[in-house]
């Protein structure tokens, strides 16, 4: 039972399914999720105190503040990864140590820094996504740890990632009555 609770705290919307089938309609939903993320993240942290922002969303998890900064870090990398896949032939992308990045000094900055960054990144990312053709979404990239991905599946991953981390915060708020 404790393991199920722990997994629910770690994966509040469930784990990502790399085998997800992506139709043009589902792709449009994923793009909308990416488009909505900056506002949803801002709403998720609205009116939280500094103490609440520094509360982990689960035992041994990141704080809300670290989570917001992580999403910005991740989505900066994602935009670059999409551009690499669109401009190079099956590029190998560079992974990074997310846990180590979350411990760096900039992870203690005010969350508004990353909210502004998310707005800018997502504005550019949506412009890119909305300009892409069906063939563009079939292009591939290689992640050294998880193998070959289509851009379309990477879009699915980042739509999940957007909902996943927003849910960490909103579920924490619900559990704590914030």
pLDDT at 2 over 60: no
Measure CA of the first residue to CA of the last residue in the chain; give whole Å: 26
Burial (CB count <10 Å: 0-12, 13-18, 19+), residue 42? middle
Please report whether residue 143 resides in a domain: yes
CATH of residue 142's domain is 1.20.120.450
C-alpha gyration radius of the chain = 16
Percent of the chain at pLDDT above 90? 95
What pLDDT band is residue 35 in, cutting at 50, 70 and 90? very high
pLDDT higher than 90, residue 174 = yes
Measured between alpha carbons, how far is 53 from 66 in angstroms, rounded to an integer?
A: 8
Number of structural domains found in the chain: 1
Average predicted confidence (pLDDT) for the chain: 96
Residue 16 lies in a domain: no
Rounded mean pLDDT, 10-27: 95
Interval 126-143: pLDDT, tens? 999 999 999 999 999 999
Pairing type for strands 140-143 and 147-150 reads antiparallel
Task: State the pLDDT confidence band at 8, using cuts at 50, 70 and 90.
Answer: confident
Residue 15, domain member (yes or no) = no
Q: Identify the band that residue 7 occupies on the pLDDT scale cut at 50, 70 and 90.
A: confident
Query: CA 107, CA 76: separation in Å to the nearest integer?
Result: 15
Note whether residue 67 is domain-resident.
yes
Tell me if 31 is assigned to some domain.
no
137-162 per-position pLDDT tens digit: 999 999 999 999 999 999 999 999 99
Q: What mean pLDDT is predicted for residues 55-68?
A: 96
CB of 12 closer than 8 Å to CB of 163: no
Residue 49 lies in a domain: yes
What is the per-residue pLDDT for 1?
57
Please report which confidence band the pLDDT of residue 5 belongs to, taking 50, 70 and 90 as the band edges: low
Instruction: Flag whether pLDDT at 37 surpasses 90.
Output: yes
**Assigned domain for 6 exists:** no
Residue 71 confidence class, pLDDT cut points 50, 70, 90: very high
Residue 20 within any structural domain of the chain: no
Q: What is the pTM of this model?
A: 0.95
Q: Note the pLDDT of residue 122.
A: 98
E strands present in the chain: 140-143, 147-150
Mean pLDDT across 90-115: 97
Residue-number span of the structural domain to which 86 is assigned = 36-176
């Amino acid at each position: 039972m404790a393991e199920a609770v722990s997994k629910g705290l770690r994966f509040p919307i469930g784990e990502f399914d790399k085998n997800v089938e992506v139709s043009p309609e589902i792709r449009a939903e994923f793009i909308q999720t990416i488009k909505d993320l900056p506002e949803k993240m801002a709403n998720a942290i609205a009116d939280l105190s500094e103490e609440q922002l520094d509360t982990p969303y689960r035992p041994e998890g990141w704080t809300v503040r670290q989570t917001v900064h992580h999403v910005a870090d991740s989505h900066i990398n994602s935009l670059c990864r999409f551009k690499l896949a669109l401009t190079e032939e099956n590029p190998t992308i560079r992974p990074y140590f997310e846990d180590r990045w979350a411990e760096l000094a900039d992870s203690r900055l005010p969350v508004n820094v990353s909210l502004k960054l998310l707005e800018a990144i997502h504005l550019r990312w949506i412009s890119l996504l909305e300009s892409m053709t069906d063939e563009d979404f079939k292009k591939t990239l290689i992640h050294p740890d998880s193998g070959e991905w289509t851009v379309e599946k990477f879009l699915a991953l980042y739509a999940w990632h957007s909902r996943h981390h927003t849910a960490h915060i909103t579920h924490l708020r619900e559990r704590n009555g914030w």
